[in-house]
Structure 1
């Protein structure tokens, strides 16, 4: 039995809180949210009141000042329960860290406390129709005009896009500059010129809203600039490692949960006078999956520890994202097979997990991009030794 030493008693107590929140505030309503295509704003306020948002945000900005393991524990518990609607990880792990790390004191005071309370919902505006993993290819422009910037362009596949109040938005401010001349802005979505497009119909993640966003001469004050002008690409590279690790944490939790659902199922499923678990093929298949899932868990926890120690680099983040994304898809596919026709029914968690799994090899940087990052690092290491 794998003993996880990364998390302590205080994290276990937090997990218990998260599980109670899931049982009372998510589980009874998630099926309806899948039909609606998004979760209600009230859920975010309840999550804030329960202490689930901004755990690692310092107390002076409304957070608990706890370590990042609390955020990872939240990702694990919601993922293991099979619920994908509440995009808390986008808010906690992708938006607030940018504001905390790179924002001015005024920006941190303005945005972080209401985000911790769930009164403001955050989204991250990076992907465009022609620019996904290739961030330098983005076309959304922000042009300086006196004390303001005027933003024009389009983003797509934006999680929390229909309900977000605050958007960390990447724009081109100097297309000819090194690194693509990208700058980051904190955008309040109630500004004139901001237009929410349609909520996109997806293969999976049915309860999590994903949207197109448009910017039509949207004017923001110069104080909305997050970090240095034209320096956004370096900031994105610093935080992408955390985003990729978060996705790996989610994948590890889902793979473990799917395996356990399947073990429980085959012990009960009768076939040819015995249970499905009695067949050697079932035992061998589950033995393989158990081994792979355990290896994935060890690697994920190792990378989490590296992150906590400030040592997780882009290459390791790419490797854990690559390996766990592939493992996630493989496990849910092979587990579904053991459910037979029932595994194809939407009412079964394994069916929803199968549909939800496919995005993991795309979001946060495609697996091909991860391979490119890892491959280039190998040759850099060779060059450093020569």
Structure 2
């Protein structure tokens, strides 16, 4: 690995950093934010600003109007975007759209790209990815999939319930994972305004960072033409890996930016606030926490960069992305928790942005696979390895 950044990438990093500081952070106090994410009006304003700055959907291919970033390049840009909780929405690199864009670029037909992917890349639409189900359906174990798709002439009829579906409210279309009659899984594309799809409710959650919140979707005889199958019949789980390994890593990139913001806030306070005759940072107990934060930031960044490098070499990176997901999700939690402690009373109030980050970031140890599931997967791979 070469850890140096090209002049082009350094320029892109600085452009993104300035954009977040000048155009995005000033909107963090905007009233167009709810307990289920930002409103469409605020999202459109953020997207408009990123489009004007030439930073919209940078991970998409140049053919679709993006910057065609490699995984390493995404690591640099996404961390900068994540410095504000509004940054990913502004650059159109937020979940689940970022992962859906990547998946559809690889798998979708030309017609599907024109109909669904192009508006997504242009920031004119949002999407959702419907896989997780309430018990006894699929959660961390996707093999427990209960939603079904049955052939009916030239169409498929989909029935089932999904929940924790990020971005469901206001999404233009969904990618739906359903079980076939032979037990395999297939992905389907469907407009969200079709008969047979019902958004039953939004779920209250710790995090409020995702546009469209987390919804419960019910499918009742949803009719999907065979032409709207995403990829091939029966290859849904294979395509899920195409999406999930990079998507786990981009989560790490964005949340590292948020953790760095919390650390910077705590560091500034520790330099200025005096207690017992000296600044907080001069007290060993606080200074050691700041040092540990810096250690966690550096180790997280190196883990992300290594996994990004593996993906850029053309490898699947499933093991590496699992390791990064566990290491980074737990490290950023420690960083933000220490930052709250350093800030004291300010850290548990809205006097700083850190309370918001603390609330949002806790979910990351669960999203895209809980730490325990990834540890189990890592252990199985280690035990099966031949030396």
Partner Cα separation in structure 2 for residue 258 and residue 283 of structure 1: 15
Asked if residue 122 in structure 1 is aligned to residue 127 in structure 2, the reply is: yes
Mapped partners of 1:184, 1:287: distance in 2: 46
Deviates more, 1:28-37 or 1:154-163: 28-37
Query: Any conservation in 1 of the 2:61–2:69 contact (CA below 8 Å)?
Result: yes
- Quote the offset at 1:207 in angstroms: 5.7
Asked if 1:320 is matched to 2:324, the reply is yes
- Normalising by structure 2, we get a TM-score of 0.89
- After superposition, the Cα gap between the structure-2 partners of 1:239 and 1:217, relative to the gap in structure 1 and judged at 3 Å, is same
Deviation at 1:246, TM superposition (A): 1.2
Alignment of 1:94-105 (within 5 A): 94-105=99-110
Match of 1:298 among 299, 302, 307: 302
Query: Does the 8 A contact of 1:57 with 1:64 survive in 2?
Result: yes
**Alpha-carbon deviations, 1:217-257, whole Å to 9, x = none?**
11111111011111101111232111111122223323333
SS in 2 for 1:303: helix
Q: Distance in 1 between matches of 2:19 and 2:201?
A: 30
TM, length-normalised to structure 1: 0.89
Aligned to 2:174: 167
Q: Deviations over 1:182-215 (max 9, x none)?
A: 1001111121111122222211235642212221
Name the structure 2 match of 1:77: 80
User: Is residue 2:338 matched to residue 1:340?
Assistant: no
Sort the Cα spacing of 1:153 and 1:6 in 2 relative to 1 into closer, same or farther, 3 A: farther
Q: Which residue among 174, 188, 191 is the counterpart of 1:188?
A: 191
1:147 alignment counterpart: 154
CA shift, 1:340, in A, is 0.8
Taking structure 1 as reference, are residues 92 and 71 closer, same or farther at Cα in structure 2, changes over 3 Å only? farther
Q: Is 1:40 matched up with 2:39?
A: yes
What displacement does 1:375 show? 0.2
Matches within 5 A, 1:250-289: 250-289=254-293
Q: Judging changes above 3 Å, is the alpha-carbon distance between structure 1 residues 226 and 48 closer, same or farther for their aligned structure 2 residues? A: farther
Query: What are structure 1's unaligned runs of at least 5 residues?
Result: none
2:371 equivalent among 367, 370, 373: 367
CA distance in 1, matches of 2:200, 2:10: 40
Q: Which runs of 5+ in 2 are unaligned?
A: none
